[in-house]
Amino acid sequence: MKVLFFDIDGTLTNFNREIPASVVEGIRKAREKGNLAALCSGRSESQIEAYILDIGFDAIVSAAGARVSVGGKPVYEHTLDREKYLFCLDQLLEVVPNLCVQTNECVYVWEQGYERLVQVFSVMFGDPRVPEEVIGTMKRIPDLRKIEKPQKIFYHQSPIDVEETQKRIGDYFLDMEMSFGKSDPYSGEITTRGIEKSTGMEQLMRHFGLSAKDSVAFGDGPNDLDMMQYAGLSICMGGGREETKKRADYVTADVDDDGIYRALEHFRLI
């Protein structure tokens, strides 16, 4: 039995948020063969849509490893240190107004940065109607300092790059380039340094009484690099970033070219 870990954006779905039929078929066949399937995403659980969950998963690693749940119940959870979180906001809010804060229950966006976020998403998706679908579930809030149990922070198209952001927020945090589409050093994900997707993977494998060698990771972006390092077998999608391909054991086809199904078949997981 293997535990198969799947990133979402660019891996399970293309960047139009579509899931090829072969993905659904492949994961269901893999589970029928006795393997377990887990989501392993930078998204918080509140951001994972029903059409993704409907594929069928045994567990969820969310918020880039900050939470692990099995059957809807948490088996591991980490949140940002309160004082460090407030310090981070003080360093960034006036410079990066479209900060978004993830919790397990909701994603919050600062009221003053909301319109900027809408503009960014309109350009990103090339459709003015898309932001309502993407941002509609976010909650606008006048003061991000009041948020309880923040898991991570993200932002898009900041006036300062990831390197400069990292200098401002200090070593408690890790600011990594956003793992969505093409490289963009002005869009990032801020997490607790040392809490990564592989952290959640390890916690889940312990829960199942298994070790890293029994895990298989599917990913495509920079926040999947530690997944590739941890897993017994690591697979990068054909449309993935070059640094992720270099770290992976195997490069399959693009998600839209049945990449997941082909890899599952290649390694006799179905």
Query: Per-residue DSSP letters for 199-218?
Result: HHHHHHHHHHT--GGGEEEE
**Helix, strand, coil shares, percent, the chain, to 5:** 40, 20, 40
Per-residue pLDDT 10s for the chain (270 aa) are 999 999 999 999 998 889 999 999 999 999 999 999 999 999 999 989 999 999 999 999 999 999 999 999 999 999 999 999 999 999 999 898 889 999 999 999 988 877 777 777 777 666 666 555 566 678 999 999 999 999 999 998 899 999 999 999 999 999 999 876 677 899 999 999 999 999 999 999 999 999 999 999 999 999 999 999 999 999 999 999 999 999 999 999 999 999 999 999 999 999
| Cα distance between residue 162 and residue 165, in whole Å | 5
Nearest residue to 102 (alpha-carbon basis) of 172, 49, 40, 151: 151
Specify the pLDDT at position 134: 63
Nearest residue to 245 (alpha-carbon basis) of 233, 255, 260, 235: 235
The tokens for 59 are: 């567990």
pTM: 0.92
| Cα distance between residue 232 and residue 213, in whole Å | 4
Specify the pLDDT at position 32: 98
Specify the pLDDT at position 112: 83
Residue 126 per-residue DSSP state? T
Distance of CA 137 to the CA centre of its chain: 17
Backbone angles phi, psi at 81, to 5 degrees: -55, 135
| Cα distance between residue 177 and residue 33, in whole Å | 36
**CATH for 82-192 (3.30.420.40, 3.30.1240.10, 3.60.110.10, 3.50.50.100):** 3.30.1240.10
Q: Within the chain, which residue ranges are assigned CATH 3.40.50.1000?
A: 3-78+195-266
Specify the pLDDT at position 130: 59
**CATH for 3-78+195-266 (3.40.50.300, 1.10.3720.10, 3.40.50.1000, 1.20.1260.10):** 3.40.50.1000
